[in-house]
Structure formats: C-alpha cells, structure tokens
C-alpha cells in the first residue's frame, strides 16, 4: 500500500519537470466574422432611392399683394390739366376739356362729337408745334367753333393770343381734316406768342408771323406727291409768273385767294431763311419788328441785308426747287 503511494508521487514529480521545459507557442487567432472578411468591391450595393425633382423658388419672388377695393363712395380724381395762364370761359356749349384746351361750340357749328375729336388732334398739334419752335404753351387756350363766315374776305380762323382764345368758323358738315389743319395753324400762333413774349409777338412782321405758322403746320397740308402744299403752290406761282411781292398788304386786299397765295409765299420764304441762314437770325428778325405790316422787321440787323435783297435771293432759290 505504502509502496504504491510512493510510486505515484514519483510519477507526478517527473511529469511536472517535463512541462516546465516546453516552449510556449502562440495560439492561432480566432477566425474573424464573415462580414469583416468581405472586400469593398464585393460589398452589396444599396439601391439609390429616387426623389422627385423640386424647383427652387427664385430669390426675387414677391408674394402677390391683395389689393383692397375702393369703397363704394370713392371716385377717380379729375385728369391732370395744364397750369400757367388761364383761358377765359366762353359762351356756348362746352364740348370738351383736354390737357391744354377748353373747347366750345355754337349752334350752327360742327357737332360736339367732331369738336371732341379735334380737341385730341389739337393736343398733338401743340406737341408738334412746340418741338419746331423750341417752346411750348405757357397756359391753357379756349377754342370756340362757330358758324362759317361769308363773303370774299371771309376767314376760317383767328387767334387772340393775348386773350388765349381761338375762334374757328365752319359749317356742321365740314370735313374734319380741313378744320384740323387750321386749328393747328392757330395753335401755332399761340405757341409763337408764348415763346417770343407778348410785346415782341404783338408787333411781329406778318411775313414771319404767318409764314412761320404755315411752315410749322406743313404736315397738315400735303400734296399728293408728299410735298408741303405751300411748296407746290409757291413754285407754281413762280413758274407761272404770278408771284406776289412779299410786302403785299392784306389790309389793302383782303380776298381769301390773295391771303392763301401770299401765305404760301411767306412760308416758302421762311423755309429759305432757315435753310440758308441760322435760326438765331430768324428770332432776331421776329423780335426786331416795329409793327405788324409786311416788311416791318429790321432785316439788316438780323441778316445784314435789306428785305429786297433777301427776297431776290429767295426767288432765285425757289426757281431751283
């Protein structure tokens, strides 16, 4: 029994000595999880989700403003009217008020509807005349349409620019185109007065007073070939040897035919002066007149030449047109 126990102890001691001389070997690593062993190239692809395209709001988008309607009692204000010098009220029917004009009519004159259209045309004539002369109205103008005059000295229009009134004499059935040109002519006189001033305009030489007004409204009087009617008629008078002297007096011969002929020549003469000399000279002549009669301007002061010399130059020029 004792011998057997001793033998067992000896065997255990021998086994422990043998374990102490054995080198330690590193244990093999644990196998990594399967997902860690996969490369990026073989990783599963997650499908991209498709989203609806959205259009961004522009940065300058302004939200609509809701307008509050006017209360039932509110009414639009009156249209703007030209200020400055006032036009006097006239008797008769007030047919229309425009920016610059108060338009009246008497019984036996063109109807109100025609007068109203001519009022709008008058505003265009004011704009055109102002552009040509380089100035504009200094106030309002009263215009009255009246029955036509009769007789060989009858006139179609007259302007009292100091009173800012124009009177036109036409029958109810007159072609509005005829009246449109005469209205423009008379309005040009008012523009002349407001540009040159009352003192100089009141005594302006009639050659320039009427010649400028016909020249300045040539667009309303055109021949079939497009030329200004005064150009055609002045040239015809030259060709036929019936030119009137530029100093023709309408006080001595008031016939409408004489008036028409000399007005055309005066307009042609103004065109010549503007084409040959400068505008400043024309203004000097207009302001230098000693009275209304034809030839009363100081032509020598303005052009360095007397009127007869300028007239002969014009006739030569007219023959070349």
DSSP string, 31-77: PPPHHHHS-GGGSPPPPPPP----PPPPTT--PPPPPPPPPTT--PP
Q: Are 265 and 245 in contact (CB under 8 A)?
A: no
Predicted local confidence at residue 64, as pLDDT: 53
Instruction: Report pLDDT digits (tens) over 67-97.
Output: 556 556 556 667 789 999 999 999 999 999 9
Q: Report the C-alpha gap between 92 and 98 in whole angstroms.
A: 17
Predicted local confidence at residue 29, as pLDDT: 35
Q: Report the C-alpha gap between 186 and 165 in whole angstroms.
A: 10
Predicted local confidence at residue 69, as pLDDT: 62
Q: Report the C-alpha gap between 209 and 193 in whole angstroms.
A: 10
Q: Domains plus CATH for the chain?
A: 82-202 (3.30.2010.30), 203-321 (no CATH)
pLDDT beneath 70, residues of the chain: 1-77
Instruction: Report pLDDT digits (tens) over 251-298.
Output: 899 898 999 999 999 999 999 999 999 999 999 999 999 889 999 999
Predicted local confidence at residue 54, as pLDDT: 43
Predicted local confidence at residue 51, as pLDDT: 38
- Read off the DSSP letter of residue 5: H
Phi, psi dihedrals of residue 216, rounded to the nearest 5°: -75, -10
């Amino acid at each position: 029994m004792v011998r057997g126990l001793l033998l067992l102890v000896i065997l255990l001691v021998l086994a422990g000595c043998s374990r102490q001389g054995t080198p330690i070997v590193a244990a093999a690593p644990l196998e990594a999880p399967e997902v860690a062993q996969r490369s990026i190239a073989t990783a599963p692809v997650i499908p991209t989700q498709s989203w609806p395209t959205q259009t961004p709001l522009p940065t300058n988008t302004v939200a609509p403003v809701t307008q509050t309607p006017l209360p039932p009692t509110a009414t639009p204000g009156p249209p703007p009217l030209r200020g400055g010098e006032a036009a006097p009220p006239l008797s008769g029917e007030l047919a229309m008020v425009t920016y610059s004009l108060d338009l009246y009519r008497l019984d036996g004159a063109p109807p109100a509807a025609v007068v109203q259209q001519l009022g709008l045309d008058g505003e265009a004539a004011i704009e055109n005349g102002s552009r040509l002369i380089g100035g504009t109205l200094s106030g309002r103008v009263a215009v009255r349409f009246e029955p036509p005059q009769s007789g060989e000295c009858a006139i179609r229009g007259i302007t009292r620019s100091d009173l800012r009134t124009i009177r036109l004499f036409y029958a109810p059935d007159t072609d509005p185109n005829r009246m449109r040109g005469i209205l423009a002519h008379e309005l040009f006189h008012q523009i002349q007065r407001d540009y040159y001033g009352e003192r100089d305009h009141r005594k302006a030489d009639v050659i320039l007073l009427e010649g400028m007004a016909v020249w300045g409204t040539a667009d309303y009087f055109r021949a079939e070939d497009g030329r200004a009617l005064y150009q055609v008629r002045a040239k015809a008078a030259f060709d036929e040897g019936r030119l009137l002297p530029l100093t023709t007096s309408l006080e001595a011969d008031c016939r409408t035919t004489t008036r028409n002929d000399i007005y055309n020549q005066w307009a042609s003469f103004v065109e010549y002066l503007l084409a040959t000399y400068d505008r400043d000279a024309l203004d000097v002549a207009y302001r230098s007149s000693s009275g209304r009669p034809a030839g009363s301007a100081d032509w020598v002061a303005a052009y360095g030449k007397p009127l007869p010399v300028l007239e002969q130059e014009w006739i030569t020029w007219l023959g070349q047109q």
